[in-house]
Structure 1
């Protein structure tokens, strides 16, 4: 069972304030007796973004770096992709950057001067400690989303932001103590999160390498090899052959039918999976296919990023739109082929830059290695066993990451809304250990397996 929050924070030394009062704000609840609730506009300044004409943007670093919305946000500081000489609305260094259009509530800090577009606002500290203000704004996401309006996309107005109630200690010293504590605590958590994320990435890279090795070189390292004649493939086992996808896999793309969101939304008895380029995206009340087939993404950024599987199996009864190719092995093993297709680098075969696309014509002409059918089955069985082990480790680690992200948000909310008395606590030094050294110990997982089959 995942450890409770008390396992992460030394709560025995973290007491609530001695007295509380009603805040008058439902989502805030009670606040410490000596705190106050004010509308944001009475404490700090809100600058709503404004977008210049599109021809005023440039990719070269000339003028101010410009942020249109939260697409350039990272965890803390933005990474701009465009510049502008005519920005009308400016975020100064240390301003809080808040996304005001869907997704509402994303937060960054301006690490330099930025021009800001209509997807953002800048909140400038006037009477509130700058870093404390950052943590307050982090806690406003739910409230912002509850007041957001719009049919095409939700958004919040400058008046809605200015009228947001915030709770805070009257003392700037107490605000700074809270901010210093959260800086230390979140830095500790974020360091751990980064290490665990790197662990996941190492497992995923090992998984991809394992599949690639098996489907292109086989399972027998002592097998005689021959030149494949394909530069990216190199040598293959002597008993294998080189073919093309069109000779090994039948295209069933002609059976695909796209359904608009409006049509799907009007369906009442939605019980069958509706597939797009990267997997199930909805349900439908009817189906087109009733057999296990390979789906392979036809278009979209995932052709390059490979952030989700590009080739995968669809089973049972389901519907496929026109963004995923539908393939059926003519004679071979379907599990071997789905692993093979997932291992291929499709970059040389993709067309289009704004909207990447892998056409059926290009796909069908890709050369692939074909082992004898019995070896295909052996490779598929081996990969099924080995990838299941890796997937179990990855899933467990990702659950830890999700829970720790939730804990991080709860910690910030509890501290910045006065659930814990921070008075008298000094900023924790960078090399502080003590209780913090064991905060995350119950979460520590196993290191990536050096030999997953051992």
Structure 2
């Protein structure tokens, strides 16, 4: 959908705004906002400013995120008071702009609060301060990465702001509230679709490697509690029955040693490639399984994966050579196992080779069936991954449209006044 432009424009004289509608003005930000420097009040609840949720009560942030935040235990007198319609400059404002507070409370002394002085309709500036051109202008006021400094009021006042009639600010804000809500709903739908596709991907793999491809196959009791029923013709045994262990060929290298042997050969650890060196100790396709690390318990990344070609393996990954070359089948079969009962240690979880080798699994007795399962997994994973890619692309385009729409509206590149119901004039 295309939007109308204003009838006439003029050069704003401000690089990030470029041309603006003829009736708009430009003003130094220090004349429109001032610093709020009041100390926290006894009744203030602690607030958290985040790019994801905006400004919310800290207790709500902890509940939504499921994790603790750094709490002020001593020196509470250093906390700052926040009023509704303040804007908060945080350590991450150079990435995500300023956060608009609708709440009264207190926040860390690390934050800078600015309060409206004149020519400010807060909902309009809530969008402007999150717009891409404004954030880029704010970022240009300092080299944060090089200097390691935080954004301060001194950075904020270097970026001039547009002066827009109050009713027009309200109309633009109402338009953006409505349109971004529509886009956000579509983005959320794509996000949920991606989650469902990833769940489907895992379910497809798990079903194939634990039950096979025939939904009507006769089943039998495995005799192993955590395995449950398995296809009647499958064989049951410890992993060491089906895979040869090659851990004796592992050679760990220190970071210093690797630094002096830089090359194009992958150097594998518990969760994948951790470096590149100039030599290899393996030149065959095998399966690696994590030996230690928190990932054995939280499973945020695969713990079993196929490696091919030339490579080096350190002593943090077990090396398995399966009885056939259906390596994807074997890696995915191991990946589906709940290894928590076999892992020792909590500070540093560890899966010994003795524990791994003795884990009991059920697999097809016929190599051709294992091959068929692998082919099916490859085909289905490719199909589902393509759908995930399409959904991610759609989500990205929606987010780009959202950003472009906000930027165009708050800088006056489009005229949306006629696209919303005009607000009621203020009572005299």
Q: Same fold (TM over 0.5)?
A: yes
Deviates more, 1:119-128 or 1:279-288: 279-288
Match of 1:64 in 2: 45
1:136 to 111, 120, 128: 128
Q: How does 1:4-153 map to 2 (within 5 A)?
A: 9=1, 11=2, 14-46=3-35, 64-67=45-48, 70=50, 73-76=51-54, 78=56, 79-81=60-62, 82=69, 84=72, 86=76, 88-101=79-92, 104-105=95-96, 108-110=99-101, 112-117=103-108, 120-127=111-118, 128-139=120-131, 140-149=134-143
Identify if the C-alpha distance between structure 1 residues 189 and 215 changes in structure 2 by more than 3 Å, giving closer, same or farther: same
Residues 31 and 210 of structure 1: is their aligned pair in 2 closer, same or farther, counting only changes over 3 Å?
same
Residue 183 of structure 1: CA displacement? 0.5
CA distance in 1, matches of 2:421, 2:302: 45
Q: Does 1:211 align with 2:205?
A: yes
Structure 2 SS opposite 1:64: coil
Q: Point out where structure 2 has 5 or more consecutive residues left out of the alignment.
A: 63-68, 424-428
Q: Are residues 408 and 352 of structure 1, via their aligned partners in 2, closer, same or farther at CA, if it must alter by over 3 Å?
A: farther
Residues 169 and 152 of structure 1: is their aligned pair in 2 closer, same or farther, counting only changes over 3 Å? closer
SS of 1:104 mapped into structure 2: helix
- The structural deviation recorded for 1:398 is 0.9
Q: Distance in 2 between matches of 1:25 and 1:258?
A: 53
Structure 2 vs 1, CA of residues 192 and 63 (structure 1 numbering), >3 Å: closer, same or farther?
same
TM-score by length of 2: 0.76
Matched, 1:230 2:208: no
The Cα offsets for residues 297-352 of structure 1, whole Å up to 9 and x where unpaired, read as 5535695263x545433434456677x73533332431112222333344555667
Mark the CA change 1:334 to 1:161 in structure 2 (over 3 Å): closer, same or farther.
same
1:254 has 2:226 as partner: no
Partner residue in 1 for 2:66: none
Distance apart, 1:109 and its partner CA: 4.3
**1:448: which partner in 2?**
none
More moved, 17-26 vs 176-185? 17-26
- What is the distance in 1 between the residues matched to 2:327 and 2:375? 11
2:151 pairs, out of 152, 157, 166, with 157
> Unaligned 5+ residue runs, structure 1?
1-8, 51-61, 430-454
Query: Offset of 1:364 from its aligned partner?
Result: 4.9
- Residue 233 (structure 1) shift: 2.5
Pairs within 5 Å for 1:34-433: 34-46=23-35, 64-67=45-48, 70=50, 73-76=51-54, 78=56, 79-81=60-62, 82=69, 84=72, 86=76, 88-101=79-92, 104-105=95-96, 108-110=99-101, 112-117=103-108, 120-127=111-118, 128-139=120-131, 140-149=134-143, 154-245=148-239, 248=243, 250=245, 252=247, 254-257=250-253, 259=255, 271=264, 289-296=282-289, 298-300=292-294, 304=298, 306=300, 308-318=301-311, 325-332=317-324, 333-348=326-341, 357-360=349-352, 363-364=356-357, 366-372=359-365, 373-427=367-421
Report the Cα distance in structure 1 between the residues aligned to 2:16 and 2:371, rounded to whole angstroms.
58
Larger radius of gyration: 2
* TM-score normalized by the length of structure 1: 0.72
Q: Judge conservation of contact 2:89–2:151 (CA < 8 Å) in 1.
A: no
8 A Cα contact 1:329 1:337, kept in partner: no
Cα distance in 1 for residues equivalent to 2:331 and 2:406 = 44
The separation in 1 between residues aligned to 2:112 and 2:239, in whole angstroms, is 51
- Judged with a 3 Å threshold, the aligned counterparts in structure 2 of structure 1 residues 426 and 117 are, in CA distance, closer, same or farther, namely same
- Alpha-carbon RMSD across the aligned residues, in angstroms, is 4.0
Change (3 A) 1:100 1:330: same
Over 3 Å counting, the alpha-carbon distance change for 1:309 and 1:137 in structure 2 is farther
CA distance in 1, matches of 2:95, 2:377: 42
How many residues align? The count is: 398
In structure 2, relative to structure 1, the CA distance for the partners of 1:151 and 1:187 (3 Å cut) is: closer
Counterpart CA distance in 2 for 1:241 and 1:49 is 73
- Retained in 2: the 8 A contact 1:44–1:123? yes
Conservation of the 8 A alpha-carbon contact between 1:20 and 1:32: yes
Q: Provide the C-alpha distance between the structure 1 equivalents of 2:334 and 2:146, rounded to a whole number of angstroms.
A: 37
Inter-partner Cα distance in structure 2 for 1:74 and 1:206: 27
